[in-house]
């Protein structure tokens, strides 16, 4: 059944998605150039892209992957996550943040969120740490940076590796410094909805040479061509060695070229996102029935997503009815995220609903509002009008 339009007249005629990539002629030219060059993969562009990202975020090393999920898998491998090791993360994330622990035989442990910032709460991490904890994967949800110093304090001098899931936070700043050099490893994703895109793509940044070497090998079958690492030093010019079991998780050169070209626009993307968010904040703070995500003082966000919480006590209906009404207005609302352990796969592994009550309460009330750099001012006003119309209609 098609959701009913309140009052019969929709606010928009054309659907507005919640997110959309921005690709211009310059991007197309950059990709084209590589397509006509000698290297489609394992050529010079990947290295150039890695150096660009490493410089941009202020990390020594960067290793590009075929996607962000593969990059997280690589990070768990480099961290040495092994069978039975516990890996702590937030339930309010994409499943990849915890699946990567499962790939290594590890056990995801979900720690609850701060109900105001929506990010993982260092106090909940502290409670979840055991002598089996090998790694923590905090997620910069919506682009808002997690309290990395707070998490480091909780870890103290235990041998626990922090892998920051920065899929949302390329360009965000923590205490004035860009995300990417604070944790042991940081992952960024270049999926089309993320802040910049390579189609599919991901990267790990790190300051640790040992992790860097492991990531490079893992990305390409566990094979090295570096004589320093060889067990047998007298091979010929063709010689290479497989040292461990890795995967083919390489990024192509034309994807890297797209990434390099997209990086030129990141500051503009960020500026435009900020303008839109400022307008949203101004409008939404006056709509009784909407609660805004709190901005932590240490975080300067790149605004990957704009997520609001409905004040359900003030509404006659649940989140689904509000969502359906927005979709009927052709406003592409969405929900980020279903608590990971609610998925049937995790339920079958034995995770029980009720594990993280604050995350679950947030989930029932949250909506993602359209936000992407190419939105026009008119689109932004349509979204605001849509929320005003729907919330006032359903307010108790």
Binding stretches for ligand PLP (CB under 6 A): 67-69, 93-94, 96-97, 139, 165, 167-168, 189, 191, 202
Strands (E), 90-167: 107-110, 133-137, 161-165
Of all residues in this chain, which one has the CB nearest to ligand PLP in the complex?
68
Residue 153 half-sphere exposure, CB side, CA atoms within 13 Å? 8
Tokens 């109900």 sit at which residue? 115
CB of 187 to ligand PLP, least distance (A): 7
Question: Residue 304 or residue 319: which is nearer to ligand PLP going by CB?
Answer: 304
Which of residues 136 and 167 has its CB atom nearest to ligand PLP in the complex? 167
Distance of closest approach, residue 65 Cβ to ligand PLP, in angstroms: 8
DSSP for residue 376: -
Among candidate residues 336, 324, 325, the one with its CA nearest the CA of residue 385: 325
In the block, residue with structure tokens 């009927």: 328
Give the orientation angle of helix 377-394 with respect to helix 266-284, to 10 degrees. Answer: 30
Separation between Cα atoms, residue 91 and residue 74, nearest integer Å:
21
Q: Which CB, 87 or 325, lies closer to ligand PLP?
A: 87
Smallest separation (angstroms) from ligand PLP to the CB of 394:
30
Least separation in angstroms between residue 98's CB and ligand PLP is 10
User: Directed axis angle between helix 253-263 and helix 25-35, to 10°?
Assistant: 150
The SS3 assignment for 30 reads: helix
- Cβ proximity to ligand PLP: between 141 and 387 the closer is 141
Number of H helices, E strands in the chain: 13, 15
Q: Which is nearer to ligand PLP, 190 or 280 (CB)?
A: 190
Minimum CB separation of residue 226 from ligand PLP in Å reads: 27
CA–CA distance, 359 with 377 (Å, rounded to integer)? 33
Phi, psi of 248, rounded to the nearest 5 degrees: -100, 95
Output 140 or 300, the one with its CB closest to ligand PLP: 140
In the complex, what is the shortest distance from the CB of residue 190 to ligand PLP, in angstroms, rounded to a whole number? Answer: 6
Sign of the dihedral through C-alpha 150, 81, 179, 364? negative
Beta carbon nearer to ligand PLP, 61 or 94: 94
CB of 249 to ligand PLP, least distance (A): 11
Q: Which residue has the tokens 């063709």?
A: 238
Token look-up 């007298």 returns 234
């Amino acid at each position: 059944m098609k959701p009913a339009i309140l009052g019969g007249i929709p606010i928009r005629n054309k659907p507005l998605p919640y997110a959309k990539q921005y690709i211009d002629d310059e991007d197309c030219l950059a990709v084209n150039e590589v397509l006509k060059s000698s290297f489609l993969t394992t050529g010079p562009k990947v290295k150039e892209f890695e150096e660009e990202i490493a410089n941009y975020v202020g990390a020594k090393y960067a290793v590009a992957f075929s996607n962000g999920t593969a990059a997280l898998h690589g990070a768990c491998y480099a961290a040495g996550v092994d069978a039975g090791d516990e890996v702590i993360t937030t339930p309010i994330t994409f499943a990849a943040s915890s699946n990567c622990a499962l790939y290594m035989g590890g056990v995801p442990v979900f720690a609850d969120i701060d109900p105001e910032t929506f990010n993982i709460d260092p106090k909940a991490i502290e409670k979840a740490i055991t002598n089996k904890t090998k790694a923590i994967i905090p997620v910069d949800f919506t682009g808002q940076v997690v309290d990395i110093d707070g998490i480091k304090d909780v870890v103290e001098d235990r041998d626990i590796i922090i892998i920051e899931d920065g899929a949302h936070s390329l360009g965000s700043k923590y205490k004035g410094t860009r995300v990417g050099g604070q944790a042991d490893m940081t992952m960024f994703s270049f999926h089309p909805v993320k802040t910049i895109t390579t189609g599919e793509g991901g990267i790990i940044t790190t300051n640790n040479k040992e992790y860097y070497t492991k990531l490079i090998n893992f990305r390409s079958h566990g094979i090295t061509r570096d004589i320093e690492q060889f067990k047998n030093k007298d091979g010929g010019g063709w010689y290479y060695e497989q040292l461990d079991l890795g995967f083919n998780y390489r990024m192509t050169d034309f994807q890297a070229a797209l990434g390099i070209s997209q990086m030129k626009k990141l500051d503009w993307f960020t500026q435009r996102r900020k303008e839109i968010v400022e307008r949203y904040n101004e409008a939404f703070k006056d709509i009784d029935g909407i609660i805004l995500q709190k901005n932590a003082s240490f975080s300067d966000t790149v605004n990957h997503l704009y997520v609001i919480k409905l004040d359900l006590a003030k509404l006659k209906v649940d989140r689904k009815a509000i969502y359906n009404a927005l979709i009927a207005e052709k406003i592409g609302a969405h929900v980020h995220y279903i608590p990971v352990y609610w998925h049937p796969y995790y339920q079958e592994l034995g995770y029980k609903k009720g594990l993280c009550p604050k995350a679950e309460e947030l989930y029932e009330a949250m909506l993602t509002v359209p936000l992407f750099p190419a939105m026009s001012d008119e689109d932004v006003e349509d979204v605001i009008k849509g929320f005003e119309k729907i919330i006032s209609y359903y307010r108790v």
